[in-house]
Every structure is written in structure tokens, then in C-alpha cells.
Structure 1
Amino acid sequence: MDDDVDRTGGDGAHGRDPEPGAPLLLRLDEPARTWTDAFPVGNGRLGAMVHGGTAHERLQVNDDTCWSGAPLTGPVEPVGPLGDDGAPGVVRRARALLAADDPLAAEAELARLQSGWVQAYQPLVDVLVEQPGAAGDAGYRRTLDLGRGVATTTWRSAGGAGWRQDVLVSHPDQALLLERTLDAREPDGDGGEAWVRLTSPHPWAAPPARAGAPGDGPAVVVATLDLPSHVLPDWVADPEPVRYGGRAVHAAVALAVLADGAGASVQVVDGAVRVRGARRLRVVLTSATDHDVAAGALHGDRDRVVADALAGCRRAVAGVDGLAARHVADHAALLGRVDLDLGAPAPDLPLDARLVRHAAGEPDPHLAVLAFQHGRYLTVAGSRPGTLPLNLQGIWNDRVRPPWSSNYTININTEMNYWPTLVGDLAECHEPLLGWLDRLAVAGGSTARTLYGVRGWVAHHNSDPWCFTGPTGRGHDSASWSSWPLGGAWLARHVVDHHDWTGDVDALRRHWPVVRGAALAVLDLLVELPDGSLGTSPATSPENLYLLPDGRPASVAVSTTSDLAIVRDLLEHVRRLAPAAGDHDEHLRAAVDGALERLPTERVAPDGRLAEWRTDVPDAEPEHRHQSHLYRVFPGTSIDPDTSPALAAAAARTLDARGPDSTGWSLAWRLALRARLRDPEGVDALVRAFLHPVDAGPAEPGPQRGGVYRSLLCAHPPFQIDGNLGFTAGVAEALVQAHHRGPDGVREVHLLPALPTAWPAGRVRGLRLRGGLRLADLVWRDGRVVRAVLESDRPVVVDVRERGADARRQVAVRPGCPGLVEPVPRG
């Protein structure tokens, strides 16, 4: 670090110390042409995609409790046939077939355990605003203010009048608000006639109709609908993929329309609201369902659902004048905890043009700032205490049969959704995942007993709010994804991480059954191999395949690297945290210790890569999107260039072999991996790859590569939110790491461990680190730290080092007494 650690002056690209609070605006200069062009707003439960039309506006609305299906009523039901020894007998036969070197027969055997599919996340309604008198495109601009949580559209009508529309979804008021206003500087005129309508892709149980008697107040309409009782995944062929009429979520929507202006009026006509003469039009929407998230149950009281929606709407209308201010204060209080500036201003261009220029090689560090904060924004807008966890699309989806059912894909994607919450100082937004895990572990206990005859709990690669935990399919899904019982073991790491960041012992003890149960299951699933080691059989490496000697692809094997990495990571955390959790079971401790002594660690293959399989077999798809065998690099913390240099080098070779392109979410994961491996050039390449615009022009020949849509939503393609959230975590990992403890137990804080040369100057404030630490301030110039301040909510001593320096300085931090990091000499 420079000697002058407090110097904050200077200017220019390599000298400016940015000030926090610069507007974080996503900007596009035309209305949405597709759903992925729209901007998302939300409050954790209620979400909307704002299309930004002038004469015709569409708000596509979701409620996070709206899923197909209903709570499960019994254990998983394998398709079979199983035989007299039941499902555990199937597992034993598959294990024997693997021992006999017949993995394809083992796959066919395991297909008997498949038990159906998860349910699908559902759209709720569309709010349509039709206002021909406001039509126009002159001066058009729409923005999403990440810091305020407001989508704004401004334009001039064909007659020259200025218009502004703001859309937000308030957490304090649990309501959506659209406000469309004629510029006050326009002394005459109004918006003419406008119509506000509700539509839904689902049949109405009761169509939109006036609630209450006509009067001078706002027009309020209410509608109800029943969600499908069953929806098959979009890739499953079936004559009746969407079914209504059985047990399902019941939903109600209440919509109020207010009009201001001399002579303004509102009237409900055939379930729609006609507005005349309004200079300001406000639409308030609330929703309710009978889906009790905490219990994972349906209460079934239809009258209560309608009453809840109407009561929420009337409360919001009563306080409508302060609703926007309450929302902005609430949203900004969360998003404003972390500030990042990479020392470069935002060019005065719309987002799509900036993405194209950036892809052509034009530097634009501010794009990375927007993408970093966009991930935090989506977390705040999509995950709040009391809601369900973020699914594959967060809380935003317009399809009855969305891609992959918009479910919880727990062999990477759901976990990635929550990678930025703790480092991004949004610990309360982590709670929906932890609460759901408590219920998932209970359901997974039945699956563990039924399918494997083991203790604890298991979950496979897909789940939903009803806590489906079985292998997907009806005997036809690929074993490469379906036959993987370690979803619970991976998810349990989030309980561990929550404690390691926050130090919340009460939360650790409350959720400890998730961790303990996952550990019991993996202990029982381990088998002794011929060499005396412990391993897993049957095993897969999620969604990947290898080639048999005759060239046929196979997925089931013995002791895949990812299996052993996840198991080792889990058991090490159980051994470390059991005392803090109040778990003093000596039998468990002995079993964990014994298993860890016999578990193999990762190995380096002859070609220098980190081996993915127990034996050296060819890859069926060398550039595969999953890299689960690198689990202990990231999200694990056990392999890095200091602690395991040979394995870290092999992990880097693995990433090299995977190639430069992949799906959007895989690029985000690779970004975090490269950062953990302290590879600034790799970080730079992956930032550029992630920010590749997938919809900037004609489709490229061959498979469509991942990146982002013009709205900055991540493209698998199609849209998946996990990439947006994983990108945020990867950027944070490039700026600071605090996962390592030295031999003396002192935590290391590594500043700028993987800073790319494209970000020579910058400042970050507010990132949270393991051990209860907070990076209160970090300023760098010319790639060198010039100021670093640490805070802590408890007394702690840390070793601080800087990128490129081996020397460390110990810094003591106490509550209320920040630690100013002194210069660290180069060594």
C-alpha cells in the first residue's frame, strides 16, 4: 500500500476517489420489445415487469406464492418396479452393476427410483393501461433506478405534452403503485380517456368486478383465480400438460384506480376502469393467496383471500400520498449499505448501446458497477423475510410453463442465487432460503428413509415450495441430473455461511437440524471401496457425462470428485461448528472424524486438470457448463493458491479447458472461481463474457452463447436470475477475500486479490466479510491500495495482505473502533 494511506485527493482515471451515492440507472430509450426487455420491480413477494409503453403499458405481475400444485400428501413414489427389497435394493443393485463395470445398466436400474417432477412457478395477472392520448415517442427514455427501486418512463406525446410514469412495488405497504402524470408545466389539457384492465393467463374463478358500491372515491375492482393443480415441465410432451381443478393455490387481486385533475372521473365498466380527464392517474394493486409460506400449506379459505387482498388495497390507498416515499426509504436503506465505484463515469448512452460498445472492446467499467449492484437490487426486490426463496427467475415469470418450471434447481442455481446476500450486507434477505430449508429437511427425511434406508435427509436436483425431494422423471430423465442425492448437503452450506458471516449463534442452532441431518445422510450413504477408502456409489457429477471405451456416454460412476468434495466440506463444518450449535453428540463426532480420515481428496489428472471422475475417462462434453468438481474452490473455501497450490493450479487448468464461453450462470460461477484462484486476467475475461449482449443483433450461428439481455437480465439463455446474482458474488470475491485462517487461527483479509487491470482505480464501501467483519472503506489507485478501513461487531484480530504482496500486517478491530490498515510492504 502507498505510504499515504489516507490520501483522498487526485483526479483522472487513475487518481479519482469516487464519492458514493451516484445514481445507479439502467436506461433504455425505447419501450420493451420482449418480456426480457422489461425492467423488474418487486418487494420480495409481489413483482412486476414494467414494459414502458406510452399509449399501451403492460405490467406483468407475479406473486411469489403462486405456484401450480399443492402440498405433498405422502412420501415419494418411485415409478418402479422396485422388487421385494424396495428402493434401497435398487441402489444396492446399481452399486453392484458399477462394481461389475456396467454403468449403463446401473443408470437403467436407478431410473426405477424416479418419481415425477416439481411444480411450476406461475404468472398472476397483467395490468394493462391504454391511454391513446398519451401516445408518443419523442424524448422517450425509461430507467430502472437500482438505488430507489423505481422504474421511470418519460416521453412527450404526439401533441407535445410531457409525461412521466413511475412504477414501484412497496415492501412497507405490500402494494404495487403505478403513477402516470402530465407535466405540471403543461397548463392545459389532460390525458383524455384511459382504460385500466386486468387480464390473466389463468381462467378467472370470479372475473374483475367492482368491490363495494359506486362512489366518489377510487374505483376498486377485485378478481379471483385458481392456479393450475398440475403443470408439467416445458420439455415434457403430454396431451394435457396444464391441469386445473384439483388442489391448488387460490389467489385474489384487488386493483384501485385514482384520478386527479379538474373534472377527472373513474368508472368501472364490465370489470375494467375507465378514466376521463386525469392529469394524474394512479393504480394501486395488491394480492393475496391461501398459500401459507411458513407452514407450506393451503388454508383454503376463499373469503379470507378476497378480504386480505381488499384490506391491503384499502390500506395502501389510504396512505397512497406517502407510499412512494416509504418504499424508497425502505429500499434504499438496504441497497445503500454497499457502494462500488470503479473510477469511471457512465457514458450518456442507453444500456443496449453500451453493451454493444463494451463487447467491441470499448472500456466501460461502470457497466460492471451496474451489474454488481443489479444483483443486489434483484435480491432486495425478490427476497425478503417471510417470502419464498428466489427461484430460477427470481420472482418474475410470464409463462404458465416456464423454462425448467422456474423451480429450485439445487445442484447449483438456487445456491448461487444467495451467494451475494451475505457479502452484500443483505443478511435478512438470506432468511427465506434458511426458512425453506427447515421445511425441505423434514420432507427430505422421508425421502432418505424411503429411497436409501438412511438417516437424516436428502434432496435431489429439483424442488419447489411443496418441498419435492425425490429424483425427477418417470423413468426417462437422465441419471446425470436425476440420480444425485446431495442437494441437501450442498444447501446446508448456507446455514454454515450465515453463521460464519453474521456470528448469529441463535440462527445456527435454529437451523442446525438442516446441517446435522444432511451429515447423517452422507455418513450413511458412504460405502467402503476396495482400497479401504470411503466413497459414494452410485455417484454422478451433476449433469455431466463421460465416455465409455466404446464411445457411448455415461453419467453414473463411483466416487465422483464433486460428491467427495461436498461430503468433505459438510463434515468438516459439522466438526467445527457442532459445539457452537450445542450439538455434543460424541457418536456423531466420532463418525465424522472417522469418515474424514478415509475420504480421498481431489487429485490432479495426467493432463494437469483437476480430475472430475475417479478414473481417467474422456469427457463427453469438454466445455460443459457445470464445474461441480471445483466445489472446494468456490463456494467452498479449502482450495486456493496458498493452502493447496497444486490443486489450485489444476483447477485453473480445468477452467482453461472448459473454454471462454458458456451459459450466463456458468460464466458467473467461473468468475467467482477465477477470483478465488487470484487470476485477474481470468476475472477480466469473464466480466467481458458475462456482459456480452445476447440480443444485440441477428442470432449468431451455432448454439447461442450466454450473457445478458439489453435489460441486463442474465441469459442462460433463456433468462435465469442466478447469473445476475453470481456475478455480484464474483466481483466481490475479486475485491476482497476473508475465507482463509492461518495456522494460528487468525483470519486473513486479502485486499484486491484478483483485481483486473481494467479497474485500475476505484472504491468500495460496506462489503461484509466472514468473521463479523465489514470492509468500511477500500480505495485503490493504479491497482494499489491507498486506504482500507475494517469494522467489526465484536473484537477480532486479522492479518491483512494486499494483492501481489506476501507480507501481512495484524490489525485489531473492536466494536466502535475501526481498524485503519497501515501500509503493507511488498515482500
Structure 2
Amino acid sequence: MVDDVDQGRADAQVGDPHGGPLVLRLDEPALTWTDAFPVGNGRIGAMVHGGTDRERLQVNDDTCWSGAPHDGPPRPVGPLPDDGAPGVVRRARRLLDEGDPPAAEAELAHLQSGWVQAYQPLVDVLLDHPAAGGASGYRRTLDLATGVVTTTWRSADDAPWRQDVLVSHPDRALLLVRASDAAPVDADVRLTTPHPWADAPSVVPGADGVLVATLDMPSHVLPDWVGGADPVRYGGPAVHAAVALAVLADGDAASVRVADGAVHVRGARALRVVLTTATDHDVATGTLHGDRARVAADARAALTRAVADVDGITGRHVADHAALMGRVDLDLGAALDLPLDARLVRHAAGEPDPHLATLAFQHGRYLTVAGSRPGTLPLNLQGIWNERVRPPWSSNYTININTEMNYWPTLVGDLAECHEPLLAWLDRLAVAGQGTARTFYGVRGWVAHHNSDPWCFTGPTGQGHDSASWSSWPLGGVWLARHVVDHRDWTGDDDALRRHWPVVRGAALAALDMLVELPDGTLGTSPATSPENQYLLPDGRAASVSVSTTSDLAMVRDLLEHVRRLTPVVGDHDADLRDAVEGALERLPTERVGPDGRLAEWHTDVPDAEPAHRHQSHLYRVFPGTSIDPDTAPTLAAAAARTLDARGPESTGWSLAWRLALRARLRDADGVAALVDAFLHPVDAEGAAPRGTDLPAHLRGGVYRSLLCAHPPFQIDGNLGFTAGVAEALVQAHHQGADGVREVHLLPALPAAWPDGRVRGLRLRGGLRLADLRWQDGRVVHAVLESDRAVVVDVREAGGARRQQVTVTPGHPTPLPPRG
């Protein structure tokens, strides 16, 4: 079995051999949860701690959330006037017209409607193996190419030990293998959970070493930042879950017995642990069937299938995982033979290590492959990995940036199938948001606010006391709809666009209906916020609510432009919709430059309450939008750069990743380099130099020693946004002229720290693929494009104005002409 892992790893090397292996390495067991390495198959996730005498696998199932499906749309906390929630909105608008934002915010607080539910841990697998304890020669690695965590060490009696852990997508199972050539395995394996057992782990009759257990998720969990006497409740409608565990002992002298809810193995040549899960949560419909016995039977059946060919699990897993990871290679330089934490410390001290950026880039793709597969739920704030019953921000879907960022690298990273969970969930969210649109705003289409969950919560969060800066933002659907558009623009899949068109169309209808005429005759939004940000009133108080924030107008314009472009593609012949879109686009203001040279965030020039704020939503049309860059809108692009300068060099981890993508789109190579360094700064590695920032610790982002992104605490969006930002620095293909010619811009924002390198396999808009790109001394020396369909492209390099036009045809890799 261990030999199978070695062979799988050899068969699945990803990347140029000169670029070093795609291996994260630490030379001690995990001391904290964020030290552990994640493995997953989209549904089952596990954090591998790498203990010698005691191993902990902290296990999640992506369908395990608190709560249950909603009964109708959210209900405002109130009190509401006779004209209902839309009357509250109208009164807030009138108060803004009268110059009283605080009163408008107080009015909008009546619309708050509770909170989303929380993503839950499932079980821990604990393996107690006292005889294997030892630290000599210890090494723990996560091979991004194969999706296997390997731990090697020598025990106190000098016996060599090895453990491999993976979660297989083909077999829907977790597998742990532990063995030594010099000593038997004498170990105990047990299951624990932070939840009450419904049926405690018990032996399956006639199946030695097999345990099955059931448990129920909480029926309600308050966010971790909300106080309350009863924050976690059990007993109401909730997800039923089950785990099935098989402990297999190899060797003629091996014995297996179950006692006190644990499996005791003695004298084994090798130990194998196989775990499967099941719940009654149907992610396709967002429903619960409620049959706990059926859930237990489903987990047991999955275990039986996995164990039937346990010897083949590793090979099938590695082949499946490597087939996705191997689509894109990046080589920025050779790896150093040091553990990851030491490399991060050296890099923070100014020692060059460009291979760290390679690892972080591929780590984002790895987390996508491990965390998001067709048929699963979309990645939440922590992907599919979480150990807390009350996780940070409920580990929810935060849709005013974070959920969207989770999927920024998916298409460019050639993982389009991993985008499917988000699109499928959006179909359900759009249906749920129709009731919210009618009830809260009296408009057509659908809306969602800044937080959601698998049950498709779409209302403003809070019970009357949440800040309007996040709660009073109904444009979640407008932003999320862009993912449907992007999927089509990258893949050319018109059928998928038609299938998900109600998401786009409904978001556009709501946006059109929420626009109001302003005194100057333009259209705008009122009330409006700029996600999570605030400005200062003349008396020095902070306020959130305003009129026609730049981010509102930018997102609405972006969506309506896509609707205008794509209605003929999907066959949407609604003349009223077309006329409304055209009319609105003619009257929507574009971004403006403020007196200080920055891109204005608010309708009027007001002081910032927090100049270094982590959100930069008013730069939406720079990135993820495609309308502002140094060519198409040089004045606005320069103002966007000034905005980023004013925000400062430090922020939370995910914000650093967003700023990286923004700097790349603005072709600021030095800014990209600075943000790569800031993102890769270790927040917990001993010996790391402080960054000399005045920001409080909870706002200083970076990475943990495992390379997981520190918001802090851990959020996966930063890891995924980093990958997208690096890709954006290497190639951009967002321009398409009226003649249909697409521009492919090579190395638009290459940092000086990466003078030589190679990337292969990035996917581009228009069905293009960057089959190969090599550069030396910062200049392209070789480039090849491929395409799914015939396309004419203009190619340019490294910010230059000169373009070369080539035609790329399907099945014919097209080398680009050398520079003249």
C-alpha cells in the first residue's frame, strides 16, 4: 500500500523538474489546527496533524451545517409600517434626501432578519500508537501533485515509520496507511465528535474492525461574534449524519478487536483506516429527508464499496487528482531544501525564494480540487475544513467578496468542472432570493445580501443591531451573476449559459427596479452602501449609508452590459428588458476621480472613516471586472492606483490577494511584487521579523506556516485569490474589440523577482489556452496558444503597445511569432 503511494507520486509529478517538487514540508507535527495539512475530495475534508504516538485527523463533510431549510423568505425583525418593508426603504431614502444618514441607518435596521447558519465539524479520527512515538528524522509533507499527506519519522527505538493520508474522490473515502518495516503496529483507533452522538460508535455484526455511528448537527448556531445565552441549540430540524470506519490490519500475526467504542490492533504489519460519511442533506435541492437509519445505511454501503478494492484506492485517487492538478504548470525557480516555515522566515527577511510563489499558486489550485467537485456545495470561508461548532463568521458564504474570490482561480486554472458547485448553488439562491426581492423591496427578480448558507438565506443579517455597512447591501446577486457570465466567456459553453440564465436575468431585473432617478437626472441607488466601509459625517461620526456608491453603480453597469451582450446568445428576446437595459446604461454615471486623485468611493467627497480599509469594492470594474485598465480608461486606472496607494501596504490576507489582482490588472509589476511578499509573510513562524505596521494584529494578514491564508484567522479566499492574482500578472485576455479580435497580453505585470520562468496550461477567455510561455530576463522567448474554436488574437508583451495578429484554430497549437 505504501509502495502504491510512491508509484502514484512518481507517475503524477506536476511542473517542470527544474521548478522543484510541489511539496509543502514541515519538520514537526502540527502544534495548532492551522499547522495541519488539508486533504479532501470535495465532500470529505480532513486536517492531518502528523502525530507520531497520537495522530489526529479532524474530519468534515461539506453537507454538515447547522439549521435546516427555510420556510419562506426571511422575516424582518421590524417593526414594519403599514406599507411593509418597501416602505422602510422609501423612508430611508427620504431621510438621505433630507441629509440624515444616521436616521436612515436606524430605519434600515428594521429590515434585519437573523443570521445564517454555521458550517460544522463532523468527527475526529484519533489513532493512539505509543510505541511509534519519536521525533528523529521527522518530516511531514503535502504533495500538491498527488493530494497525499506523508509523514515519516523514527520512533524512540529507532524503527522507521511512514504514514500516508488521502481522501479519494473516485472512492468517496478517506484512507490512512501506517506501517514500518522494523516494528509491528500496536494501535487503537477511535472516533470523537464535538456533537452529541445519536448512536455512539458501535461494531457492525460480522464485520471485524468496523464501526458505525450517527449524530445530528445543531438546529441553530449563532455567529461567533454574537452574544447570547444559548448560542448552540440541538433538537430541532437538523442534518442527520453518519460515519462508517473500517480498521484493516495486514499480516498473519495481526489481531483486531473492538472494545469500549474503539478498534484495537495488535501485531499488524501495516494498519489501514478507511472512513466514509453520509448525511440526509441533498445539496441539489437543499432539502433533508430526515431518515437517520437510511443515513447510517448509506455510510455503511459506501464503506463496503471502498473496502472491496482497498488496494486500488490510492492509485485511483492519485490518477484522478493529478489529472486535474497536472493541467497547469508554473516554474519560477528551484525549491530550497528547507521546511516551509524556515523558507517563509527567510523570504520575509529578504532572501529570494520565487519557488514559494509557485507553491502558493499551485496551493490555490490544490485547495480547489480538494474542496470543490461537481455535486458538492461551493467552498465556504474555510473551504471544507473547519474544527469549530461556532467557526469564525460561521464559515459561511460571504458574498460581498469572499465567496466570489474563492472561484477566481477556477477558470483560469483550467478547473472549470470545479466551478459547477457555485453555479448549481446560484440556481437555488436565485429562486430563494425572489421572495426577498418582493418582500423587502417590492421588485422583480432576486436579491441576496452579504451572507448566505446552503439553506439560501438571502436577507439582511442581524436582529436590529448589525452595522448597515455590511447588512444593508442587496447586491449579492448582481455580483454573483458575473460567475455565470465568466463561465461562458472562458469555456464558450452556451448551453451552460442558457441553463443558468435565470440567475443573470433575475439579478438584472432586480437591479433595474431598484434604480431611482436622482436630482441631476441620472439613475442611481438609494439607500446605498460600499461593502463594510464607512465615511465621516461633518460632526465626526461614522456613517455607512449613502446614495449611489461607486461600487453599486459599477456592479450594476457591469451586469447590464453583460445582459445586453448575451441576450442574443441565450435567445432572450424580451424587448422590454432590452429597452430597459439600454435606457439604464445611458443614464448610469461611470466612476469619477476625486479631488485627491483617487477613484471616488462615495457619491460626494467625504473623509474616510478608515483610510486603510480592507474592502476596495469601488474598484470592481478594475478586477474582477474588465472595464478599467491603463488602455481602456487610463485616467480611471491611474486613480485606482492612487486608491490602492492610499489604502497602504498592509491588510488582511484576502484583501492582500485582491490587491494583488488589482495591481496586476493595472500592470504595476512592483505593486505585484510587494503584495506577493506581503501575502507570503508568516504570521506564526518563530523568528519571523515584524512588518513594522501600525495595523492591529487582527488586520495583519499573511500565511500560517502551513501556507493557509491568515485573515487572520484562517480564510481560504486569500489562498484562492493569490492564485488568480499571479495568473493575472502572467497573462491577460480580457480585451475584445468590436471586430471580435481578442487581445492576449503576455507578462503584463511580471515582478522583477521572477526574471526567468515558464507557465503552461492557463485557460483564457474566448476558449483560449496558453499551452506554453517561457521568458528570460523578463522577456518572452517562446509562446504557444491553443483554442477550442477558431479565433483571431492580437498578442502583445510586457506592457508594450506593439501587437502581432495570429489565427488560432482547434487542434493546431500556434507558436506566436518572435519579437521583431
Give the TM interval when normalised to the shorter protein.
over 0.9
Alignment of 1:70-219 (within 5 A): 70-183=68-181, 186=182, 189-191=183-185, 193-213=186-206, 218-219=208-209
* Match of residue 4 from structure 1: none
* Match of residue 255 from structure 2: 265
* Match of residue 591 from structure 1: 580
Aligned residue type for 1:765: R
* Match of residue 518 from structure 1: 507
Cα distance between partner residues in 2 of 1:123 and 1:514: 31
* Match of residue 790 from structure 2: 795
Cα distance between partner residues in 1 of 2:533 and 2:378: 26
Where structure 1 has 5 or more consecutive residues not aligned to the other structure, the ranges are 1-16
Aligned residue type for 1:439: R
* Match of residue 643 from structure 1: 632
- Deviation of 1:241 after TM superposition, in Å, equals 0.0
* Match of residue 13 from structure 1: none
Deviations 1:385-440 (A, max 9, x none): 00000000000000000000000000000000000000000000000000000000
- Of 219, 231, 235, 2:221 maps to 231
Cα distance between partner residues in 1 of 2:191 and 2:483: 39
What SS does the corresponding residue of 2:361 show, helix, strand or coil?
A: helix
Q: What is the number of residues matched between the two proteins?
A: 800
* Match of residue 606 from structure 2: 617
Aligned residue type for 2:714: F
Check the 8 A contact 1:134/1:157 in 2, yes or no: yes
* Match of residue 322 from structure 2: 332
Cα distance between partner residues in 2 of 1:454 and 1:105: 24
* Match of residue 7 from structure 2: none
Change (3 A) 1:557 1:702: closer
Check the 8 A contact 2:788/2:810 in 1, yes or no: yes
What SS does the corresponding residue of 2:213 show, helix, strand or coil?
A: strand
Cα distance between partner residues in 1 of 2:562 and 2:254: 64
Aligned residue type for 2:777: D
Check the 8 A contact 1:20/1:340 in 2, yes or no: no
- Deviation of 1:702 after TM superposition, in Å, equals 5.8
- Of 557, 563, 572, 1:568 maps to 557
* Match of residue 547 from structure 1: 536
* Match of residue 772 from structure 1: 767
Change (3 A) 1:702 1:636: closer
* Match of residue 9 from structure 2: none
Query: Identity of counterpart residues, as a percentage?
Result: 82
Aligned residue type for 1:205: A
- Of 628, 651, 663, 2:652 maps to 663
* Match of residue 251 from structure 1: 241
Check the 8 A contact 2:650/2:695 in 1, yes or no: no
Cα distance between partner residues in 2 of 1:250 and 1:449: 33
Cα distance between partner residues in 2 of 1:496 and 1:647: 24
* Match of residue 7 from structure 1: none
* Match of residue 40 from structure 1: 38
Check the 8 A contact 1:21/1:339 in 2, yes or no: no
Deviates more, 1:802-811 or 1:547-556: 802-811
Check the 8 A contact 2:280/2:288 in 1, yes or no: yes
Cα distance between partner residues in 1 of 2:813 and 2:600: 44
Deviations 1:703-743 (A, max 9, x none): 12100000000000000000000000000000000001234
What SS does the corresponding residue of 1:384 show, helix, strand or coil?
A: coil
Where structure 2 has 5 or more consecutive residues not aligned to the other structure, the ranges are 1-14
Aligned residue type for 1:585: D
Cα distance between partner residues in 2 of 1:528 and 1:746: 37
* Match of residue 265 from structure 2: 275
Cα distance between partner residues in 2 of 1:363 and 1:762: 14
* Match of residue 675 from structure 1: 664
Alignment of 1:304-453 (within 5 A): 304-342=294-332, 344-453=333-442
- Deviation of 1:457 after TM superposition, in Å, equals 0.2
- Deviation of 1:19 after TM superposition, in Å, equals 4.5
Check the 8 A contact 1:231/1:242 in 2, yes or no: yes
Cα distance between partner residues in 1 of 2:282 and 2:523: 42
* Match of residue 11 from structure 2: none
Alignment of 1:482-497 (within 5 A): 482-497=471-486
Check the 8 A contact 2:746/2:796 in 1, yes or no: yes
Aligned residue type for 2:441: Y
Check the 8 A contact 2:667/2:799 in 1, yes or no: no
Aligned residue type for 1:529: L
Cα distance between partner residues in 2 of 1:394 and 1:517: 27
Deviations 1:657-709 (A, max 9, x none): 00000000000000000000000000000000000000023896861210000
Check the 8 A contact 2:19/2:331 in 1, yes or no: no
Cα distance between partner residues in 2 of 1:661 and 1:230: 36
Deviations 1:555-610 (A, max 9, x none): 00000000000000000000001111111111100000000000000000000000
* Match of residue 643 from structure 2: 654
Cα distance between partner residues in 1 of 2:402 and 2:82: 37
Cα distance between partner residues in 2 of 1:499 and 1:471: 30
* Match of residue 810 from structure 2: 815
Using structure 2 for the length normalisation, give the TM-score: 0.97
* Match of residue 746 from structure 1: 741
Using structure 1 for the length normalisation, give the TM-score: 0.96
- Deviation of 1:213 after TM superposition, in Å, equals 2.4
RMSD, aligned CA: 1.1
Check the 8 A contact 2:21/2:335 in 1, yes or no: no
- Of 597, 617, 622, 1:608 maps to 597
Deviations 1:145-172 (A, max 9, x none): 0000000000001001000000000000
* Match of residue 3 from structure 2: none
- Deviation of 1:824 after TM superposition, in Å, equals 3.2
Change (3 A) 1:702 1:810: closer
- Deviation of 1:67 after TM superposition, in Å, equals 0.0
Check the 8 A contact 2:773/2:783 in 1, yes or no: yes
What SS does the corresponding residue of 1:163 show, helix, strand or coil?
A: strand
